[in-house]
Chain A
Amino acid sequence: MSDLLLSLKGLTKAYPGVVANDNVSFDIAKGEVHALLGENGAGKSTLVKMIYGLVKPDSGEMRLNGEVFTPAEPRAARASGVAMVFQHFSLFNALNVAENIALGMENPPKQNALAARISEVSEAYGLPLDPFRTVGDLSAGERQRVEIIRCLLQDPKLLIMDEPTSVLTPQEVEILFETLRKLKAEGTSILYISHKLEEIKALCDHATILRLGKNVGTCTPAESTAAEMAEMMVGSSLQTPERSGREFGNVVLELTDLSVSAPGEFGTTLQDITMSVQAGQVLGIGGVAGNGQDELLGALSGELPSSPGTIKLDGRPIGDFGPNERRALGLLTAPEERLGHAAAPDMSLTENAMLTGAIREGLANKGFLNWGKAADFARKIIEEFDVRTPGPENAARSLSGGNLQKFVIGREVLQRPEVLVVNQPTWGVDASAAASIRQALLDLAAGGAAVIVISQDLDELMEISDHFAALNEGHLSEALPAADLTVEQIGLMMGGAHGMEVSHVG
């Protein structure tokens, strides 16, 4: 076939103890949008890193335009017309847009000429961008634009996009899709990595599905149902969490005009946040990353103190209480970052259980630690939450992301919280573990606790929350009943397209 752009045959890459890619083959035609589908850990990232020259395959062959393609480094891949937009942005916060783009080019023109080119290309593709703004001050959607424009300036033949929509509002996703369709019409091929099936159905011509490093099938997304693709991806059918109808109790946690200034240089300042949760209620808080999620969790956990009256637990002002005092009163939190914030990576599970459980589980007495009780508590978490580990004496670092997340959530749930706040409870967790975490949160709420779930995964929030609110640049929207919301409403709550017009694309 003459219109074949990239052809992969039998690519294999093994790391010690794990085969990341096992004999993977597929083809991408010119002007085709090809989806690469799979769960976390299925080997998608390793595969694209091989195409982009960051990782060398152990065996197998890649052909680009019929010629053998063995990029030794990203520079070589870029020279051959392969460009990549990373999942975790490869941007430099302290540098401006033009400098960031110059770093991704082989022979960048002078700053002023480059700035003019950036404005030109960004207008042409409906992605407006000021070349002289500091990247650290941009929203997640704008940062992605920086990456895309960096790629477009090099006239790529193949554009690789790694989970590009995980940080966008629904409106921004639509703009991105318009841009990608325009590129496709110009003959650029796109390798689109995602686990969001609806997006793939809307955008992609073909899909290759990876599971545990193996190519388990290809399909034409437009002709397959989401359930069929999900089953190929996971290998079994999934259970969706059950929720029972329940009555809400009294207001347990109440925030009134909470304002907290950003702790770091590029943090977000929380402004006048007012909300309340009732016993038995699950409040979902959505929003694009970097709009104040971490700060809100910090303000609720007690890491960022505020004035006393702004946070009330059962009517009692606790704004100036530290984390331990709040824990004693029943306000527990599980932050986003598993390794380093929620758990100490090099400490054992027993020690990690001790760290947050000491107060409510009575694991310490007059300053002396009761290790026997702590180990029992850790074992109870491991058992009840199906954490796959040889035992509580293992270091937190040795657990896989999903298992550690189950441990971290389980540790808080088993302390019988009155209010539990979790941030990104299922980020980077495989589908079955995510389902069991969501079920545990719903069960907790059914038992009468108030649960606040902060997440960037809208599907997750719609699945489990009773009420939904969104964070946008440090402001929290009003909480509305989740069942009545449309995608457009949610998108507008999240800040819409952040000042962009869809009509720019043309």
Chain B
Amino acid sequence: MDLSSINPILLLASLMVAATPILLAAIGELVVERAGVLNLGVEGMMITGAICGFAIAVETGSPVLGFIAAAVGGAVLSLLFALLTQFALANQVASGLALTLFGLGLSALLGQGYVGVKPPSTPQLDIPLLSDIPVLGPILFNHDPMVYVALGILAATWAVLKYSRMGLVLRAVGENHEAAHALGYKVVRIRVLAIMFGGACAGLGGAYVSLIRVPQWTEGMTAGAGWIALALVVFASWKPWRVLMGAYLFGGVTVLQLNLQAAGIAIPVEYLSMSPYIITIVVLVIMSTHRSGAPASLGKNFHASG
């Protein structure tokens, strides 16, 4: 075992990369749940986004078009969920699980011709001056653009939820849809838009895995990241900055355990592999014991009556 082979700067830098997919998926799901909808199909939307983004990036040679396609793909798949739960009033838990299974199958079908193909690489965003700062430079300012896009989406979501009228209406719908309806707000329309936003974010998160983090296509390559994103939202008490913290914690432990594996530490690999999941959930559970803060209408279907 040789712990000195672990470079702390490289470790912290790769933490931000490892955290980005679940950060994107979780922030989308946070918006969906604040609107009162529980979409368990995050994993399915992520994997669909992963293959949509991969295929378009390979065909066009442009990673940017790939990411756009991933967002569109995730949003279109989420529309299926919206159709089932908001119009047909199907059970949200069952519909979400079905969406995950459907997404996994659909992506495997779409991805048949892409196994072993290499996607066009996304250029690093070398921010001049800032990236030259010793230590902080490589950790914070030497990443691909999507890392910053994800942080931007997070900050924008936080600001919109907290300060804008749109965010207030969205929270009101999630809190008490009967009352929101009585005040004349379009509950179903707002929820469908929130679900599509969640789908687009999950799609981006999936494409980040297939285009940047791995980068190649294999079936089921999101490997449970969607489920972690879901858990993150709950244990972060539906607060955006706590989601960021949870995502970085998860990313950090993931990178650390990979480094420890490489350093040949005398703990069975299986324990190391499960550690990010366990540590993240334990920490978040402890943090959220005091007050849950769940949207009061979460998971309840709304039907306007008389």
- A104: which of B178, B183, B293, B295 is its contact (CB, 8 Å)? B183
Given A55-B306, A102-B168, the answer on whether A73 and B184 have CB atoms closer than 8 Å is: yes
Hey, which chain B residues are within 8 Å of A216, CB to CB?
Answer: none
Q: How far is the CB of A106 from chain B (nearest CB, A)?
A: 10
Q: How far is the CB of A166 from chain B (nearest CB, A)?
A: 17
CA distance A54 to B178 in the complex (A): 12
Answer yes or no: A132 CB below 8 A from chain B CBs. Answer: no
Given A46-B306, A99-B168, A103-B172, the answer on whether A265 and B179 have CB atoms closer than 8 Å is: no
Answer yes or no: A491 CB below 8 A from chain B CBs. Answer: no
Nearest residue, chain B, Cβ from A100 = B172
CA distance A20 to B306 in the complex (A): 10
Answer yes or no: A75 CB below 8 A from chain B CBs. Answer: yes
Answer yes or no: A500 CB below 8 A from chain B CBs. Answer: no
Which residues of A103-134 are within 8 A (CB) of B? 103-104, 108
Which residues of B169-187 are within 8 A (CB) of A? 169, 171-172, 175-176, 178-180, 182-185
Given A46-B306, A108-B165, the answer on whether A92 and B172 have CB atoms closer than 8 Å is: yes
- A94: which of B169, B180, B293 is its contact (CB, 8 Å)? B293
Given A46-B306, A103-B168, A265-B292, the answer on whether A94 and B179 have CB atoms closer than 8 Å is: no
Hey, which chain B residues are within 8 Å of A89, CB to CB?
Answer: 179
Given A92-B172, A95-B175, the answer on whether A75 and B306 have CB atoms closer than 8 Å is: no
Hey, which chain B residues are within 8 Å of A15, CB to CB?
Answer: 306
CB–CB A90/B175 < 8 A: no
CB–CB B183/A53 < 8 A: no
Answer yes or no: B285 CB below 8 A from chain A CBs. Answer: no
Hey, which chain B residues are within 8 Å of A91, CB to CB?
Answer: 176, 179
Hey, which chain A residues are within 8 Å of B178, CB to CB?
Answer: 90
CB–CB A90/B183 < 8 A: yes
CA distance A431 to B295 in the complex (A): 38
Q: How far is the CB of B55 from chain A (nearest CB, A)?
A: 42
Hey, which chain A residues are within 8 Å of B291, CB to CB?
Answer: 265
Hey, which chain A residues are within 8 Å of B182, CB to CB?
Answer: 54, 74, 86, 90
CB–CB A103/B176 < 8 A: no
Answer yes or no: B80 CB below 8 A from chain A CBs. Answer: no
CB–CB B172/A75 < 8 A: no
CB–CB B292/A103 < 8 A: no
Hey, which chain B residues are within 8 Å of A265, CB to CB?
Answer: 291-292
Hey, which chain B residues are within 8 Å of A108, CB to CB?
Answer: 165
Answer yes or no: A59 CB below 8 A from chain B CBs. Answer: no
Answer yes or no: B296 CB below 8 A from chain A CBs. Answer: yes
Q: Mark A76-89, 1 if CB is under 8 A from B, else 0.
A: 00100000001001
CA distance A191 to B292 in the complex (A): 40
Nearest residue, chain A, Cβ from B291 = A265
Answer yes or no: A49 CB below 8 A from chain B CBs. Answer: yes
Q: How far is the CB of B296 from chain A (nearest CB, A)?
A: 6
Hey, which chain B residues are within 8 Å of A104, CB to CB?
Answer: 183
Q: How far is the CB of A477 from chain B (nearest CB, A)?
A: 31
Q: How far is the CB of B247 from chain A (nearest CB, A)?
A: 24
CB–CB B184/A75 < 8 A: yes
Q: How far is the CB of B85 from chain A (nearest CB, A)?
A: 20
CB–CB A93/B165 < 8 A: no
Q: How far is the CB of A17 from chain B (nearest CB, A)?
A: 12
CA distance A93 to B178 in the complex (A): 13
Which residues of A45-73 are within 8 A (CB) of B? 46, 49, 53-55, 73
Hey, which chain A residues are within 8 Å of B295, CB to CB?
Answer: 94
- B296: which of A54, A55, A93 is its contact (CB, 8 Å)? A93
Which residues of B182-209 are within 8 A (CB) of A? 182-185
Which residues of B265-306 are within 8 A (CB) of A? 291-293, 295-296, 306
CA distance A215 to B175 in the complex (A): 37
CA distance A55 to B306 in the complex (A): 6
Hey, which chain A residues are within 8 Å of B179, CB to CB?
Answer: 89-92
Q: How far is the CB of A158 from chain B (nearest CB, A)?
A: 16
CB–CB A94/B175 < 8 A: yes
Q: How far is the CB of B303 from chain A (nearest CB, A)?
A: 14
Q: Please list 15 pairs of residues, one from A and one from B, whose beta carbons are closer than 8 Å in the complex, sorted by A's number.
A: A55-B306, A74-B184, A75-B184, A86-B182, A89-B179, A90-B183, A92-B172, A93-B175, A94-B171, A94-B295, A95-B168, A99-B172, A103-B183, A104-B183, A108-B165
With A94-B171, A102-B168 given, name 5 new contacts (CB 8 A).
A15-B306, A90-B178, A91-B179, A95-B168, A108-B165
Closest 3 CB pairs of A and B: A74-B184, A90-B179, A92-B175
